[in-house]
């Protein structure tokens, strides 16, 4: 039996025509009004049951959470809440939901905290909030592929199991295929982890960049979009141990071209959400406004959700060098009373998110791209500037979030790259394949990484990154 998505029926003019809809009961009022949701939209479809002519045993089974198939005619609604409704002819219960059991879950019709919802991540997608977030997540993912496809980029699938540490930060999850009963041992009896993966030490990728670079130097313009892993013990609202990253990489492109792309790309995907996810954004905006009423002023959102998205789309991103930013931060206080928690005293210090947010929210009042960072706080592959102490790095900073994107022009000169690697004790042998790109037809090239969950966090107006990925992984949490 075919059935029609609720999103289509809600805007349909096929009055008096018969349809079948399938979904989960959100509420059942007065033995008559079923609010049905099938995930295709935030909005429920009202289905009006002729209870006098319906078997009472069947009526009893129409409970919150049950999966039902409803057939009936589409009619103009007499009630105020909706334009159309279904006049029910037949209800088939596909799956019951025992009310007593359901009461113990987050599907019970009362308010639950986001922490509580996280504990039942397998059920939370059936709530309005998570339905809206996950639809937006999917649409944003589509917009990303669409942007690159329209602009001549190829999607490169870089490996998840890898032998290299792209960021050189040592924050990797080891991948092991050792026999736990009988692992290979060194002469001194300790386990020989260098044989982890059939004779090679391997880990989950922290970034697809290095492999992405090799593909850009053949296909011209590529992007990767896949899961990446960081074994850092960060318990913050902006970090996950498993997150998805979008990484474009372009041959014959310098840092200015990289910044142009980052700005154009971000504006495209956010505009796409504004145009194509209006109901979900309206719902999330209202939710945020309600939540803010019970928060202290300092924790409230600075502006309504959609206004914040327009703030990105309608403003030029301000491009500022690290050195300039340090001068601003040295002479600033976040407010009259308070200093920064980590005051900036000298050139060379890494910025904390309080500094990034100050620059965006208080000083420039627009999205900011910081560039030319000190070499010693950035990864080995970034191109060294003529001054010998800064690199062609860039970070895109967003209000409320801080770093949304990190990228750079890459060091294309073999000798300089080798020197850098030697200084950081990175093995040439391990990265010989990467160095080949610099030996054979090296060229100016650049790229960046955008943390997909940070983008979804921003666009949905949620405050914790754990609420914008279906099954968040963070220290101590990977139950299922
Ligand atoms: O700044 P990062 O570490 O840069 C790279 O990995 C480069 N290889 C990217 C490139 O040039 N191709 O990470 C890029 C972005 C950050 O700006 C941030 O948005 C996100 O990835 N990110 C995280 N998101 C969630 N949880 C974490 N633990 C993250 N670490 C980085
Ligand atoms: Mg970074």
pLDDT higher than 80, residue 1: no
The best mutation among 454, 459, 469, 472 to test binding of ligand 1, ranked by most ligand atoms within 8 Å of the C-beta, falls on 454
Enter the DSSP assignment of 299.
G
Measured by CA distance, the residue closest to atom 18 of ligand 1 is 451
Distance of alpha carbon 227 from alpha carbon 241, whole angstroms: 10
**Cα of 406 to ligand 1 centre, how many Å?**
6
Ligand nearest to the CA of 238: 1
**Cα of 355 to ligand 2 centre, how many Å?**
14
pLDDT higher than 90, residue 270: yes
Looking at 94-108, 193-207, 446-460, which range is the least confident one? 193-207
Contacts of 358 (CB under 8 A, 6+ apart): 329, 332, 334, 340
Looking at 193-202, 369-378, 455-464, which range is the least confident one? 193-202
How does residue 345 score in pLDDT terms, banded at 50, 70 and 90? Answer: confident
pLDDT digit string (tens) for 421-433?
999 999 999 999 9
Atom of ligand 1 nearest to the CA of 395: 17
Helix, strand, coil shares of the chain, percent, nearest 5, are 35, 25, 40
Distance of alpha carbon 283 from alpha carbon 327, whole angstroms: 41
Helices (H) and strands (E) in the chain, counts: 14, 16
Q: So what's the pLDDT on residue 446?
A: 98
DSSP states of 197-212 as a string?
Answer: TTSS-EEE-S-SHHHH
Measured by CA distance, the residue closest to atom 23 of ligand 1 is 451
Q: So what's the pLDDT on residue 302?
A: 84
Ligand nearest to the CA of 445: 1
The two most distant CA atoms of the chain are separated, in Å, by 85
Phi/psi at 430 (5° precision): -60, -35
Enter the DSSP assignment of 363.
I
pLDDT digit string (tens) for 109-132?
888 999 999 999 999 999 999 999
Alpha-carbon distances of 451 from 229, 448, 455, rounded to whole Å:
11, 10, 7
**Cα of 429 to ligand 1 centre, how many Å?**
26
The mean pLDDT of 439-464, rounded to a whole number, is 98
The best mutation among 168, 207, 257, 473 to test binding of ligand 1, ranked by most ligand atoms within 8 Å of the C-beta, falls on 207
Q: So what's the pLDDT on residue 168?
A: 78
**Cα of 395 to ligand 1 centre, how many Å?**
10
Percent of the chain with pLDDT over 70: 99
CB 86 within 8 A of CB 45: yes
Contacts of 104 (CB under 8 A, 6+ apart): none
Long-range contacts (CB closer than 8 Å, 24 or more residues apart) made by 271-277 = 271/313, 272/139, 272/140, 272/143, 272/146, 273/136, 273/139, 273/140, 273/143, 273/309, 273/459, 274/306, 274/309, 274/310, 274/313, 276/139, 276/143, 277/135, 277/136, 277/139
Percent of the chain with pLDDT over 90: 82
pLDDT digit string (tens) for 197-252?
777 788 999 999 999 999 999 999 999 999 999 998 888 999 999 999 999 999 99
**Cα of 263 to ligand 2 centre, how many Å?**
17
pLDDT higher than 70, residue 262: yes
Distance of alpha carbon 347 from alpha carbon 355, whole angstroms: 14
pLDDT higher than 90, residue 195: no
Looking at 197-201, 293-297, 386-390, 415-419, which range is the least confident one? 197-201
State whether residue 247 is helix, strand or coil.
Answer: strand
Measured by CA distance, the residue closest to atom 24 of ligand 1 is 451
Atom of ligand 1 nearest to the CA of 232: 28
Ligand nearest to the CA of 258: 1
Q: So what's the pLDDT on residue 408?
A: 98
pLDDT higher than 70, residue 475: yes
Ion ligand 2 residue ranges (Cβ < 5 Å): 406
Measured by CA distance, the residue closest to atom 2 of ligand 1 is 406
pLDDT digit string (tens) for 145-169?
999 999 999 999 999 999 888 887 7
Q: Enter the tokens of residue 116.
A: 């509580």
State whether residue 123 is helix, strand or coil.
Answer: coil
Q: Cα-Cα-Cα-Cα dihedral of 42, 130, 246, 206, to 10°? A: -170
In this structure, the residues whose C-beta lies within 6 A of any atom of ligand 1 are 166-167, 207, 209, 230, 239-240, 243, 245, 247, 403-408, 447-451, 453-454
Residue with tokens 């979009």: 225
Q: Enter the tokens of residue 478.
A: 């990977």
Q: So what's the pLDDT on residue 275?
A: 98
Atom of ligand 1 nearest to the CA of 465: 25
Q: Cα-Cα-Cα-Cα dihedral of 281, 287, 290, 291, to 10°? A: -120
Atom of ligand 1 nearest to the CA of 166: 8
**Cα of 387 to ligand 2 centre, how many Å?**
22
pLDDT digit string (tens) for 291-341?
999 988 888 888 999 999 999 999 999 999 999 999 999 988 888 778 888
**Cα of 127 to ligand 2 centre, how many Å?**
33
Atom of ligand 1 nearest to the CA of 234: 28
State whether residue 187 is helix, strand or coil.
Answer: coil
**Cα of 381 to ligand 2 centre, how many Å?**
13
**Cα of 167 to ligand 2 centre, how many Å?**
9
Distance of alpha carbon 356 from alpha carbon 325, whole angstroms: 9
| 262-296: b (≥16 Cβ within 10 Å) or e | bbebbbbbbbbbbeebeebbebbbebbeebeeeee
Q: So what's the pLDDT on residue 411?
A: 98
Ligand nearest to the CA of 466: 1
Q: So what's the pLDDT on residue 211?
A: 97
pLDDT higher than 90, residue 99: yes
Average predicted confidence (pLDDT) for the chain? 94
Measured by CA distance, the residue closest to atom 1 of ligand 1 is 406
Q: So what's the pLDDT on residue 479?
A: 67
> Structural domains in the chain?
6-104 (2.40.50.140), 128-171+206-467 (3.30.930.10)
Q: Enter the tokens of residue 279.
A: 């109901």
């Amino acid at each position: 039996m075919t059935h029609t998505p609720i999103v289509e029926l809600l805007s349909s003019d096929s009055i008096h025509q018969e349809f079948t809809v399938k979904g989960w009961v959100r509420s059942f009022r007065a033995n008559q009004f079923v609010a049905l949701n099938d995930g295709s939209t935030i909005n429920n479809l009202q289905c009006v049951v002729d209870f006098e002519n319906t078997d009472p045993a069947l009526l009893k089974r129409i409970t919150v959470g049950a999966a039902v198939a409803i057939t009936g005619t589409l009619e103009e609604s007499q009630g105020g809440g909706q334009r159309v409704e279904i006049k029910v002819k037949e209800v088939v219960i596909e799956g019951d939901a025992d009310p007593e059991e359901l009461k113990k879950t987050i599907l019970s019709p009362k308010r639950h905290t986001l922490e509580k919802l996280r504990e039942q991540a397998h059920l939370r997608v059936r709530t309005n909030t998570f339905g809206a977030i996950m639809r937006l997540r999917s649409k944003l993912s589509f917009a990303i592929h669409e942007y690159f496809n329209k602009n001549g980029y190829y999607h490169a699938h870089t490996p998840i199991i890898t032998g290299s540490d792209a960021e050189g930060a040592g924050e990797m999850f080891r991948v092991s295929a050792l026999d736990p009963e009988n692992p290979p041992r060194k002469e001194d009896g300790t386990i020989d982890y260098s044989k982890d993966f059939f004779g090679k030490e391997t880990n989950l990728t922290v970034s697809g960049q290095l492999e992405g670079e090799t593909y850009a130097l053949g296909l011209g313009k590529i992007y990767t979009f896949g899961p990446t892993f960081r074994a850092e013990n960060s318990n913050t609202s902006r970090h996950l141990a498993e997150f998805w990253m979008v990484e474009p990489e372009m041959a014959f492109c310098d840092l200015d071209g990289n910044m142009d792309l980052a700005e154009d790309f971000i504006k495209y995907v956010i505009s796409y959400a504004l145009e194509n996810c209006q109901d979900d954004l309206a719902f999330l905006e209202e939710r945020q406004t309600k939540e803010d009423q019970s928060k202290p002023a300092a924790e409230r959102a600075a502006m309504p959700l959609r206004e914040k998205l327009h703030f990105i789309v309608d403003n030029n991103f301000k491009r500022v060098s690290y050195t300039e930013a340090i001068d601003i931060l040295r002479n600033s206080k976040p407010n009259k009373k308070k200093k920064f928690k980590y005051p900036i005293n000298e050139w060379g210090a890494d910025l904390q998110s309080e500094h990034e947010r100050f620059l965006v929210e208080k000083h420039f009042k627009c999205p900011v791209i910081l560039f030319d960072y000190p070499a010693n706080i950035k990864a080995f592959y970034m191109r060294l500037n003529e001054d010998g102490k800064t690199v062609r790095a860039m970070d895109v900073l967003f209000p409320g979030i801080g770093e949304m994107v990190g990228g750079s022009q890459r060091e294309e000169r073999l000798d300089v790259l080798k020197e850098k690697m030697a200084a950081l004790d990175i093995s040439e042998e391990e990265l010989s394949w990467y160095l080949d790109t610099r030996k054979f037809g090296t060229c100016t090239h650049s790229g960046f990484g955008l943390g997909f969950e940070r983008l979804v966090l921003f666009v949905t107006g949620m405050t914790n990154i754990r609420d914008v990925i279906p099954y968040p992984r963070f220290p101590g949490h990977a139950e299922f």
